[in-house]
Structure 1
Amino acid sequence: MYLAMILQLFTLQIIVHQVAYASDSCICEFKNAEKPFPHNKLKTVEQDAVKCNQDVNPQKAREFDGLLLALEQRLPELVAEVSELELENDGDLYGAITLQVIHNDMAEIQQLVNKLNSTHLGFRQQNSNMFETLQDLKEEMQQLEAFDTMQTVKREKTNIRLTRDLDHCKNGCSRSPPVNPSNGAGPRCVNVTGPRVYTSGEYPGSYKYGSWGRDPKPDAGKENWYWRVILTSSNIYAHYVRRYTTLSALIVGISTPGNVQISPSNPTTNTIQGPSAVLYGEALYYNCYKEAAVCRFNLTSKTVQSAMLPAGTRVNSKGNYCHLEACYPYTDLDLATDETGVWVVYTTTEDHGNLVLARVGVEDGRPVLGETWHTSVYKNSATNSFVAFGVLYATRYVTQDVEEIFYSLDTATGVERFDVGIRITKMSNHIYSLNYSPVDQMLYAYGEAFMTSYKVKFE
């Protein structure tokens, strides 16, 4: 320790002058021969670095990827429509109608291409500017490192590199979730990849809560349609579902069918409450306003019917999904779809707050509750759930960037697992609704005004 102090004094090249004023006293004057540290320059570098982080982030890259994916899916559809016209054109009414459809589709694709081009040009200019800025920052940092006589920065860089290598080893070497063939409803989920789509649609930054996805059982001609429910009143209620004819239409924010309205205002008896709604068979399933009940809104007849849940069901934000820092309001009832139909996840006082799963059937247009399963998972310890191939999966919050599928229940065998261990990369800090679509085997997440989709991999 003393040796280090002596070396530091030598490094500083301290010059001592002795000035005598009396025989028994002296004054020592210390002068530092080193250049003064440029604090203003360091502050400027820090400000430039913060600006770079704000200008360049993964979310902007995801926006470009989403536009590209939408265009990639839309072009084959247009080719198929043109081929159909060539084969079946009767030169009369059918041809005129089909040509108009193709014309509308081409206009939509042109809008998507224009947005893609503008985004691409913006990225090119931004990349050029960022390259020059980073070069300047690199040179300035190299000059500032000359003042690091104790080599603190060098050691810090070494520590960061070692930490990064350790994290990479942990992620790369960790075992995949065990694949146990199920004797029950279907194959198990073994991985979730993506995000595949990341967009805010036509309302950037607005409407934090909601849900979106695809109808697993659509009417003819609506196989490629998407839907979206946004909570427009106090982040609690909604009174319409919005439809989009294609993924590209949803991304650029064109809803040709427009809003399918349940009621003219919020809240009313049939109002959607909470962010966990799903569309199945041209009917919207959701938590009825202030009731322990599942509502079914028929989009064709514009009628609403409901099914009451058991006594003691927790509603009105008393049985929410939660994590250590917060709960997601009005997530008491979580509707889900899979290959077999519609499900509802809830909790009751009799189950001491644990998750309960029930089938939702339909009789004469009215929803009815079917078989029920009781789990060992406390609902407040989970952040979301979904059903795929008759298996219930629950997620939990890990970090701002990671969500984990930690639990599963096979409804065919009744077997519960707490070691699923599948991680999901989040694009927003929280996921308020999560639903699986068997149409494309995708997960559709909605959180903080953004819509994100992920590909589900099965054994």
Structure 2
Amino acid sequence: MRQSNMFVSMVVIPLILSQSARGKDCVCELQNSDPAFPENKLKEVEFTASQCIANITSEKMTEIDRLVLGLQHRIWQLLDNVSMLEKEDNGNLYAAVSLRIIELELLEIQDLLDKLNRTTNNYQQLSVQTAAELKDMEETMVELEKFDHTQVMVKQRENQRIKRDLERCKDVLNSTAPAPTLSPGRCGLGRLVNVSRPRTYSLTAYGTSYNFGAWGRDANPAPGDENKYWLVVLSSSNVHGNFIRQYSSMSTIILGIGPTDTYISNSNPTTNTIQGPNMVMYGNALYYNYYDTNSVCQFNMTTSSVSTVALPKDAGYNNKFPFAHLGATYIYTDLDFATDESGVYVIYASKSNFGNVVISKVATSNPPVLNQTWSTSLHKRTVTNTFMVCGVLYATRYLNKETEEIFYSYDTKTNEERYDLRIHIKKMQTNIRYMNYNPRDHLLYVYSDAYIVTYEAMFQEVN
């Protein structure tokens, strides 16, 4: 309604002045040569726009994601149940009951598929209908703008464009300031006390063939890249990778649509390629174990430039000190990388520290530089993964197929070590190949046997 009043007030009305027969009184004869403003058309546009906003919401658009995740979970649950029944086969005693259970689960899966198909069809129809309505609204607004004789709307759009440009300039200026450096162990989050059940669980677009990889979000993104997610799968012998795949949102990485690939090298493996699944993204650069060396590698995503810094000569690499448990060794995991509120770390083991874990802070300059280093009493081969929160190192170990345990912490501020945390993580697959904490959303990003999973880290204030 505000727009319609504005249009009416801008109409040019010529006035003809004539003198009355009674004397000096003047009479204004209004002659409006323009047609009346079609206010009903503007009301129709406003109503259609409000209907579009009501029909298309972010909650509705994520419904497909939830259905796909639920469907994947039920299928894998069915496979586990079938495998269990095969192992527990006792002749014909339980055959009828077992088949009935499987039949019921298949019916539930079919229901999910039907709902997914209905939802997809509804969204397709909604998309076609909305596109037609938007076109009609655009044509109507172009017609209504003809009543704007003084070009108020044109100037208003120009002002809006200038305001957007100013806001972008402000963002660029703010982004040039260095990220705040927080004292390790003192972020105001308190003590890590628990980890949520999986918040995201999805098979990547590569399928189940690639069990080793990594994914997550940039812990210190460039302006405009705040919502991006990155994914790296080790496509050569589950050891090496030579490109990074990026997605524009969580929905697109789950659905595997619209990726952008950035290549580190043309072949794999060779110089510069990634070795091992442990890597992080920070400041638009990927940090990883440089191929066939004990070096930290920094790959700039914008310039595709590579720079390195070597670890101490006795630092393990090429399966000297990998993550492991009694049942398996996670190959080429000698170097682990982590991000927290203050930057990037590399976690490794060395001969001089008797194969125990060493933590080094990595200055994210170009080239990178190793800063302060801490030595722990934690033997690296007893660990399956590590991550950092507020300058505190946390380590996990394998308990069984269903559970991983955060059992250890080392505070780089106080040098205090603890082996009694007992924080359990419910696994969706047997092995967690990669784990990293992102300080932006307080989530743990996990790559578990070809699946990408997230967990929320939960903290308790310390008085």
Bin of the TM-score, shorter chain as denominator length: 0.5 to 0.7
1:143-193 CA distance string (max 9 Å, x none): xxxxxxxxxxxxxxxxxxxxxxxxxxxxxxxxxxxxxxx994332211110
Specify which of 223, 227, 238 is matched with residue 224 of structure 1.
Answer: 227
Query: How far is the alpha carbon of 1:200 from its aligned partner?
Result: 1.1
Structure 1 pair 409/48, CA: closer, same or farther in 2 (3 Å)? same
Cα distance in 1 for residues equivalent to 2:246 and 2:439:
19
Question: What's the counterpart of residue 213 of structure 1?
Answer: 216
Structure 1 pair 93/259, CA: closer, same or farther in 2 (3 Å)? farther
Q: Given that residues 322 and 382 in structure 1 are in contact (C-alpha distance below 8 angstroms), is that contact kept between their aligned partners in structure 2?
A: yes
Question: What's the counterpart of residue 342 of structure 2?
Answer: 340
1:36-85 CA distance string (max 9 Å, x none): xxx97525226516746985999x99xx99xx9xxxxxxxxxxxxx9xxx
Question: What's the counterpart of residue 48 of structure 1?
Answer: 99
In structure 2, runs of 5+ residues without a counterpart are 1-89, 120-133, 135-152, 165-182
Q: Given that residues 184 and 392 in structure 2 are in contact (C-alpha distance below 8 angstroms), is that contact kept between their aligned partners in structure 1?
A: no
Amino acid at match of 1:360: V
Q: Secondary structure at the match of 2:219?
A: coil
Amino acid at match of 1:197: T
Amino acid at match of 1:193: S
Q: Given that residues 242 and 255 in structure 1 are in contact (C-alpha distance below 8 angstroms), is that contact kept between their aligned partners in structure 2?
A: no
Cα distance in 2 for residues equivalent to 1:349 and 1:195:
37
Cα distance in 2 for residues equivalent to 1:41 and 1:320:
47
TM-score by length of 1: 0.63
Q: Secondary structure at the match of 1:263?
A: coil
Structure 1 pair 282/183, CA: closer, same or farther in 2 (3 Å)? closer
Cα distance in 1 for residues equivalent to 2:405 and 2:108:
23
Query: How far is the alpha carbon of 1:194 from its aligned partner?
Result: 1.9
Question: What's the counterpart of residue 302 of structure 1?
Answer: 304
Amino acid at match of 2:197: G
Question: What's the counterpart of residue 257 of structure 2?
Answer: 254
Query: How far is the alpha carbon of 1:91 from its aligned partner?
Result: 5.0
The answer as to 2:392 corresponding to 1:380 is: no
Question: What's the counterpart of residue 127 of structure 1?
Answer: none
Question: What's the counterpart of residue 238 of structure 2?
Answer: 235
Question: What's the counterpart of residue 30 of structure 2?
Answer: none
Cα distance in 2 for residues equivalent to 1:371 and 1:317:
25
Question: What's the counterpart of residue 4 of structure 2?
Answer: none
Cα distance in 2 for residues equivalent to 1:255 and 1:238:
20
Cα distance in 2 for residues equivalent to 1:216 and 1:206:
28
Structure 1 pair 40/211, CA: closer, same or farther in 2 (3 Å)? closer
Question: What's the counterpart of residue 179 of structure 1?
Answer: none
CA RMSD of aligned residues (A): 3.1
Query: How far is the alpha carbon of 1:394 from its aligned partner?
Result: 0.2
The answer as to 2:321 corresponding to 1:270 is: no
Cα distance in 1 for residues equivalent to 2:199 and 2:155:
36
Q: Secondary structure at the match of 2:272?
A: coil
Cα distance in 1 for residues equivalent to 2:272 and 2:371:
22
Structure 1 pair 285/90, CA: closer, same or farther in 2 (3 Å)? farther
Question: What's the counterpart of residue 453 of structure 2?
Answer: 452
Q: Secondary structure at the match of 2:96?
A: helix
The answer as to 2:200 corresponding to 1:197 is: yes
Amino acid at match of 1:336: A
Structure 1 pair 202/183, CA: closer, same or farther in 2 (3 Å)? closer
Q: Within 5 Å, give how 1:43-442 maps onto structure 2.
A: 43-45=94-96, 47-48=98-99, 51=102, 184-186=185-187, 187-256=190-259, 258-363=260-365, 365-442=366-443
Cα distance in 2 for residues equivalent to 1:455 and 1:302:
32
Query: How far is the alpha carbon of 1:268 from its aligned partner?
Result: 1.2
Cα distance in 2 for residues equivalent to 1:439 and 1:362:
18
Q: Given that residues 297 and 303 in structure 1 are in contact (C-alpha distance below 8 angstroms), is that contact kept between their aligned partners in structure 2?
A: yes
Q: Given that residues 185 and 410 in structure 1 are in contact (C-alpha distance below 8 angstroms), is that contact kept between their aligned partners in structure 2?
A: no
Q: Percent identity?
A: 43
Q: Secondary structure at the match of 1:291?
A: coil
1:269-306 CA distance string (max 9 Å, x none): 10000000110000000000010000000001100000
1:91-135 CA distance string (max 9 Å, x none): 58998xx9xxxxxxxxxxxxxxxxxxxxxxxxxxxxxxxxxxxxx
Query: How far is the alpha carbon of 1:265 from its aligned partner?
Result: 1.1
Cα distance in 1 for residues equivalent to 2:157 and 2:387:
49
In structure 1, runs of 5+ residues without a counterpart are 1-38, 69-81, 99-181
1:291-345 CA distance string (max 9 Å, x none): 0000000001100000100011111112111111111011100000010000000
TM-score by length of 2: 0.63
Q: Secondary structure at the match of 2:254?
A: helix
Query: How far is the alpha carbon of 1:204 from its aligned partner?
Result: 2.5
Q: Given that residues 184 and 342 in structure 2 are in contact (C-alpha distance below 8 angstroms), is that contact kept between their aligned partners in structure 1?
A: no
Cα distance in 2 for residues equivalent to 1:200 and 1:302:
28
Q: Given that residues 279 and 286 in structure 2 are in contact (C-alpha distance below 8 angstroms), is that contact kept between their aligned partners in structure 1?
A: yes
Q: Given that residues 401 and 428 in structure 1 are in contact (C-alpha distance below 8 angstroms), is that contact kept between their aligned partners in structure 2?
A: yes
Structure 1 pair 441/184, CA: closer, same or farther in 2 (3 Å)? closer
Query: How far is the alpha carbon of 1:380 from its aligned partner?
Result: 0.6
Q: What is the number of equivalent residue pairs in this alignment?
A: 312
Cα distance in 2 for residues equivalent to 1:227 and 1:264:
19
Cα distance in 1 for residues equivalent to 2:452 and 2:376:
29
Structure 1 pair 50/380, CA: closer, same or farther in 2 (3 Å)? farther
Query: How far is the alpha carbon of 1:440 from its aligned partner?
Result: 0.2
Q: Given that residues 437 and 445 in structure 2 are in contact (C-alpha distance below 8 angstroms), is that contact kept between their aligned partners in structure 1?
A: yes
Question: What's the counterpart of residue 141 of structure 1?
Answer: none
Cα distance in 2 for residues equivalent to 1:336 and 1:89:
50
Cα distance in 1 for residues equivalent to 2:407 and 2:326:
16
Q: Given that residues 188 and 391 in structure 1 are in contact (C-alpha distance below 8 angstroms), is that contact kept between their aligned partners in structure 2?
A: no
Query: How far is the alpha carbon of 1:255 from its aligned partner?
Result: 3.3
Query: How far is the alpha carbon of 1:398 from its aligned partner?
Result: 0.6
Cα distance in 2 for residues equivalent to 1:292 and 1:317:
11
Cα distance in 2 for residues equivalent to 1:88 and 1:343:
52
Cα distance in 2 for residues equivalent to 1:90 and 1:266:
54
Q: Given that residues 286 and 301 in structure 2 are in contact (C-alpha distance below 8 angstroms), is that contact kept between their aligned partners in structure 1?
A: yes
Amino acid at match of 2:253: L
Query: How far is the alpha carbon of 1:395 from its aligned partner?
Result: 0.3
Amino acid at match of 1:282: N
